Amino acid sequence: MSSKRWRMQLPLHVMIWPGLILVLLFCYGPMVGLIIAFQDFVPTNGLFGSEFVGLKHFEYMYSLPQTTEVIRNTLFISVMKIVAGLLAPIATALLLNEIRRESFKRSVQTLIYLPHFLSWVILSGILIEVLSPTNGIVNSLLASMGVEPIFFLGDQSWFPFVMVGTDVWKEFGFGTIVYLAALTSINPSLYEAAVIDGANRWQQTLYITLPGMLPIIVLMLTLSLGNVLNAGFDQIFNLYNPSVYATGDILDTYVYRLAFVNAQFSVATAVGLFKSVISFTLISISYWVAYRFANYRIF
Amino acid sequence: MGSRRGRTHFILVSSLLLALTTAACNGNEETTAPEATGNGGATKASESAKNSPAMKEGPFGKYDPPITMTTVRALPDLESYRKGESIDDNLWTRDLKEILGIEVVNKWKVNHKQYNNKITVSMISGDMPDFYQVDAKQLQQIVEAGQAADLTEVYQKYASDVTRQSYEEFNSIKLKGATFDGKLMALPLNGGVPGGAQMIWIRKDWLDALHLEPPRTMDDVIRIALAFTNDDPDRNGKDDTYGLNLMKDLFGGWAGLDGFMNGYHAYAYNPANGSGTDLTFVKNAEGKVVLADTLSEVKIALGKLQELYKAGAIPKEFSVLDGNKAGELATTGKVGMAYGEFWVGTWPIAGMKKENPAVDWRPYPIVSADDAPVHPGGRGDIPTSFIVVNKNAKHPEAAIKILNYFHEKVSGPNRDPNYHQVKEGDVNYQVFSLSPIIGPGFSNQNQIDNDLVQEALRTGDVSKLTSSAKTYYDGIMDYKKGNLDMWLWNALFGQDGAYSITNAYDRKTPPVTSVYMGQPTTAMVTKGPILRDLEVKIFTEIINGTRPVDDFDAAFVAEWYKQGGQEILDEVAASGRIK
């Protein structure tokens, strides 16, 4: 490589360094701290001075009475969220795409996007009111149809579905926008050709729109798989209560109650590491699957 | 806490003590009193003081040349300083430098929310200041790591009389909380008289509407709860009221169960949002230390609560209501009774009087289910916040001198309002909070003030009121003249107010506190949260009727012992820190 070329590229290198340094400093640097997952960490002894205990904290984590139940809840809720969170925006995007009136389309788009900006702290307060079995609007509606009031947030069998439903309601507007953007990138001449060949709307959707969206769908799915162990701490922490621990308690809330409140750094780190390893594996697998079956590469 | 003023008889006693000690000290070279405060007996002592080249001995001896002490500070969310002052340079730091010859240097300062993390990071890096504030858990770690200076001797030698009185009130509970293996390893910053005693807050206007008397027994409480639920106390023709408020954490100072349980001589306390390590241990009939929450009295109380829930007297959805939501039930006039602490008068119900003058919330003492007198449960007698002196600090006694100076200016008989709270323009500057060490002072200041206010209300003589008591008294008078914004002062300090109730508790039926004085044990930290979840879950399910009351023994008590409770009890028994 000539030094002339190097000199030409120098500004580009300089531009990437600050970002690179920040990533190294704040994303890779702290990974040194992972060793406290294998120690009986006492802050006073420092990062390297604490006694090494091997996998003790991982064993502790598995020995906890509710761990299997909690992992099951986490997977159940997050898989449902991933599936519903994928289907709802795709369907909405396809429906919106059929609408001719631009102004109507835009206002719907904006309205469904709005909840995305509200924090769960605020939304939880609203949801507790809305879903209240005594004076909530949902149960008033149900009552007018002759249905007994349902204690959505206090009932073990309802709770996970309420979590999925409210999460999808909050986030599907955001996904819709992404998919609508993907739709605009489909070449209109494909539709014109299909019409000439006699394809109806449904066939156009099936053979042109969906395949055209596929790369984005795969991308969104792959990215969301990395979150399979994040079932939504903010949401569940603000909405759950002891009577729904059995079906609503997820890894993050469990660890929060167990370890963070009492500053059990080692246990918390062990759980964090466990989650990261699982997420990393899942992302790798889905990346490979996406390449293999959809011939799509993200990176 | 403890930073408010004291009282006349108190001044008399303490100046007498001061005189005695100064007399005793004249024999040797020890002396008291900084020049700035020097009055009364203290001045005489300082006149007779002899200069030593390095420093003068005694609680207020000056270092010459001045020494430097490093520390770190937590800052409040809203910092406000008078002109020319800052956390690094203010009335306190200037005084300490001029009068005691101690220059305090803040190595760093962060928002109080980040303080604990930053302390932890400092511990890791080993870069600790000469003295710093820690919580109970950190103190234990620091002591175990051998990083704290042993203050036993310097305390004996340098603590001023006010500091001693503060530390020795209530059976020296503060000192005991900072003592490890007989050695004083830190300066406690709180603790003392137990707080947390509950009372029953009731809508008196609802009682009147239904021609009911305030409760005398637990049966009355249940009767009132049912009447409030079924007899339309707000006379709006709708079945939309509850008798007894309850929130999902089950225990706590507002809409908790603590006081209700106390009525059955049960002392369960383990809020769902708590650490699971703040437990109440009691001695059972055989003298063995057990967890109060596992005793049969708790089961009786839970049975009564289940009946109330079935009758619709407890909010159907209490298990999802946090304190705020439960507060809304009260402020929207849906509930007429709740157990809670004195501060319920300030929140959530304080504004109701102004919105609707007919609303009449009043505190009543908790009542017993039988003939035995009822003692409220109490907490917070054991200190949880401390100043640790670094074992490498050259002058560990300087920390005690700073503490002495704080107590001298804020808590003692020679206290000076300019060091406590100063009003300039519209702003109240909390000058005391700038001191590098904010001592605990005397923990029953509000109770003392309440006695003074009651006296003044009877006699109309305001001359004996401390400045804080005067504020309360003026608030009450303002309220009586019709300023409904001032309702809370009447609720707290008025005749039969919340503090009159806690004062009566302290005098006749003192709070029951945990017999365990130590910090959370290993098993408490590791198993406590699981056991807390178990307890809250089973209790919730018993109250809302998902489980029969009899599940208490098998599903809770037996499980509690099995899942780590026995381990906790063993550690507590072995700790040697039982009252």
Distance from CA of B381 to the nearest CA of A (A): 20
Average pLDDT over every residue of A243-248 = 88
Portion 3-62 of B in contact with A at CB < 8 A? none
For tokens 């704290």, what's the residue? B148
Q: Which of A115, A79, A113, A117 is closest to A93 using CA atoms?
A: A113
Measured between CB atoms, which of B123, B144, B272 is closest to A242?
B272
- On whether the CB atoms of residues B241 and B234 are closer than 8 A, the answer is yes
Q: Which residue has the higher pLDDT, B387 or B116?
A: B387
Residue B6 reports pLDDT greater than 50: no
- In angstroms, the CA A110 to CA B457 distance is 62
Residue A128, CA atoms < 13 Å, CB-side half-sphere: 24
Residue A25 reports pLDDT greater than 80: yes
Q: Which residue has the higher pLDDT, B73 or B526?
A: B73
pLDDT confidence tier of residue B28, bands split at 50, 70 and 90: very low
Q: What is the pLDDT of residues B350-390, one digit of tens each?
A: 999 999 999 999 999 999 999 999 999 998 888 889 999 99
Q: Tell if the CB–CB gap between A242 and B317 is shorter than 8 Å.
A: no
Average pLDDT over every residue of A21-30 = 91
Residues B187 and B206 in one domain: no
> Is the Cβ of B140 closer than 8 Å to some Cβ of chain A?
no
Q: Tell if the CB–CB gap between B530 and A64 is shorter than 8 Å.
A: yes
Distance from CA of B578 to the nearest CA of A (A): 23
> Is the Cβ of B142 closer than 8 Å to some Cβ of chain A?
yes
End of a domain among B483, B508, B533? B508
Q: Tell if the CB–CB gap between B530 and A133 is shorter than 8 Å.
A: no
**What is the structure's pLDDT at A62?**
81
Cβ-based neighbours of B295, under 8 Å, separated by 6 or more: B266, B267, B282, B284
**What is the structure's pLDDT at A272?**
85
pLDDT confidence tier of residue B55, bands split at 50, 70 and 90: low
Domain that holds residue B482: 445-508
Q: Which of A63, A48, A169 is closest to A118 using CA atoms?
A: A169
Q: Tell if the CB–CB gap between A257 and B324 is shorter than 8 Å.
A: no
pLDDT confidence tier of residue A261, bands split at 50, 70 and 90: low
Neighbours of B367 (CB within 10 A): 19
For tokens 């999902």, what's the residue? B248
**What is the structure's pLDDT at B54?**
55
- In angstroms, the CA B555 to CA B535 distance is 9
Q: Tell if the CB–CB gap between A263 and B537 is shorter than 8 Å.
A: no
* A241 chain-B contacts, CB cut-off 8 A: 248, 272, 319-320, 540
Average pLDDT over every residue of B43-47 = 39
Beta strand B199-203 with B187-188 is unpaired
Q: Is residue B1 part of a domain?
A: no
- In angstroms, the CA A181 to CA B283 distance is 69
| DSSP 8-state class, residue B89 | S
Residues B544 and B425 in one domain: no
CA distances from A148 to A141, A166, B121 (A): 10, 21, 55
Q: Tell if the CB–CB gap between B321 and A261 is shorter than 8 Å.
A: no
Residue B117 reports pLDDT greater than 90: no
Chosen for mutation from B122, B124, B138, B536 (greatest number of chain A CBs closer than 10 Å) is: B124
Residue A166 reports pLDDT greater than 80: yes
Lowest mean pLDDT of A111-120, A124-133, B2-11, name the range: B2-11
Q: Is residue B562 part of a domain?
A: yes
> Is the Cβ of B276 closer than 8 Å to some Cβ of chain A?
yes
Domain containing residue B405: CATH number: 3.40.190.10
Average pLDDT over every residue of B439-453 = 87
Tokens of B157: 């030698």
Average pLDDT over every residue of A233-261 = 86
Distance from CA of B140 to the nearest CA of A (A): 10
Distance from CA of B571 to the nearest CA of A (A): 18
Q: Which of A245, A298, A248, A254 is closest to A275 using CA atoms?
A: A254
- On whether the CB atoms of residues B545 and B311 are closer than 8 A, the answer is no
Residue B154 reports pLDDT greater than 70: yes
Beta strand B199-203 with B337-340 is antiparallel
The percent of residues above 70 in pLDDT, for chain A, comes to 97
User: Is the dihedral angle over the CA atoms A16, A21, A24, A27 positive or is it negative?
Assistant: negative
Q: What is the pLDDT of residues B466-514, one digit of tens each?
A: 878 888 999 999 999 999 999 999 999 999 999 999 999 988 998 999 9
Residues B257 and B120 in one domain: no
Cβ-based neighbours of B454, under 8 Å, separated by 6 or more: B495, B500
Q: Tell if the CB–CB gap between B145 and A45 is shorter than 8 Å.
A: yes
Residues B374 and B388 in one domain: no
* B120 chain-A contacts, CB cut-off 8 A: 43
Residues B425 and B523 in one domain: no
pLDDT confidence tier of residue B525, bands split at 50, 70 and 90: confident
**What is the structure's pLDDT at B425?**
83
Q: Tell if the CB–CB gap between B537 and A258 is shorter than 8 Å.
A: no
Residue B553 reports pLDDT greater than 70: yes
Minimum Cα–Cα distance from A243: chain B residue: B537
* B526 chain-A contacts, CB cut-off 8 A: 60, 264
**What is the structure's pLDDT at A192?**
92
Average pLDDT over every residue of B47-53 = 39
Note the ipTM here.
0.78
Measured between CB atoms, which of B124, B141, B537 is closest to A245?
B537
Neighbours of B20 (CB within 10 A): 12
Residues B483 and B513 in one domain: no
Total count of residues recorded for chain A? 299
Tokens of B513: 């506190």
Minimum Cα–Cα distance from B275: chain A residue: A261
> Is the Cβ of B118 closer than 8 Å to some Cβ of chain A?
no
* B324 chain-A contacts, CB cut-off 8 A: 125
CA distances from B9 to B14, B16, B87, B448, B517 (A): 9, 11, 35, 11, 31
**What is the structure's pLDDT at B230?**
95
Q: Where do the domains of chain A lie, and which CATH numbers do they carry?
A: 1-54 (no CATH), 65-294 (1.10.3720.10)
Q: Tell if the CB–CB gap between B526 and A125 is shorter than 8 Å.
A: no
Distance from CA of B330 to the nearest CA of A (A): 15
* A42 chain-B contacts, CB cut-off 8 A: 141, 144-145
- On whether the CB atoms of residues B228 and B410 are closer than 8 A, the answer is no
- In angstroms, the CA A241 to CA B481 distance is 45
CA distances from B247 to A184, B220, B264, B328, B533 (A): 51, 22, 20, 11, 15
Q: Which helix (H) or strand (E) holds B75?
A: strand B67-75
Average pLDDT over every residue of B99-126 = 89
Measured between CB atoms, which of A46, A151, A258 is closest to B124?
A46
- Coil, strand, or helix at residue B483? coil
Average pLDDT over every residue of A248-266 = 81
* B316 chain-A contacts, CB cut-off 8 A: 133-134, 151
Q: What is the pLDDT of residues A47-102, one digit of tens each?
A: 787 888 888 888 888 877 788 899 899 999 999 999 999 999 999 999 998 888 88
Radius of gyration of chain B (CA): 26
Tokens of B54: 């390095």
Q: Tell if the CB–CB gap between A243 and B537 is shorter than 8 Å.
A: yes
Residues B495 and B526 in one domain: no
Q: Tell if the CB–CB gap between A42 and B141 is shorter than 8 Å.
A: yes
Measured between CB atoms, which of A65, A128, A245 is closest to B320?
A128
Residue B176 reports pLDDT greater than 50: yes
| DSSP 8-state class, residue B374 | P
Distance from CA of A23 to the nearest CA of B (A): 21
**What is the structure's pLDDT at A298?**
65
User: Is the dihedral angle over the CA atoms B173, B178, B182, B183 positive or is it negative?
Assistant: negative
Q: What is the pLDDT of residues B188-222, one digit of tens each?
A: 999 888 888 999 999 999 999 999 999 999 999 99
* B272 chain-A contacts, CB cut-off 8 A: 241-242
pLDDT confidence tier of residue B12, bands split at 50, 70 and 90: very low
- In angstroms, the CA B456 to CA A287 distance is 78
Residues B25 and B159 in one domain: yes
Residue B127 reports pLDDT greater than 50: yes
Q: Tell if the CB–CB gap between B546 and A64 is shorter than 8 Å.
A: no
Residue B254 reports pLDDT greater than 90: yes
Cβ-based neighbours of B440, under 8 Å, separated by 6 or more: B1, B2, B166, B167, B174, B188, B189, B190, B191, B192, B383
Residues B370 and B398 in one domain: no
**What is the structure's pLDDT at A1?**
53
Radius of gyration of chain A (CA): 24
- On whether the CB atoms of residues B320 and A153 are closer than 8 A, the answer is yes
Phi, psi of B392 (to 5 degrees): -90, 0
Residues B501 and B571 in one domain: no
Residues B309 and B340 in one domain: yes
- In angstroms, the CA B249 to CA A242 distance is 9
Q: Is residue B19 part of a domain?
A: yes
Average pLDDT over every residue of B100-108 = 95
**Number of domains composing chain B:** 3
Q: Tell if the CB–CB gap between A133 and B520 is shorter than 8 Å.
A: no
Portion 392-411 of B in contact with A at CB < 8 A? none
Beta strand B102-111 with B67-75 is parallel
Q: Tell if the CB–CB gap between B145 and A46 is shorter than 8 Å.
A: no
Residues B322 and B365 in one domain: yes
pLDDT confidence tier of residue B30, bands split at 50, 70 and 90: very low
Tokens of B14: 């303490």
pTM (predicted TM-score): 0.77
Q: Tell if the CB–CB gap between A151 and B317 is shorter than 8 Å.
A: yes
Q: Which of B560, B452, B497 is closest to B11 using CA atoms?
A: B452
For B499-545, the DSSP string reads HHHHHHHHHHSPPB--SB-SPPPHHHHHHHHHHHHHHHHHHHHHHTT
End of a domain among B399, B415, B434? B434
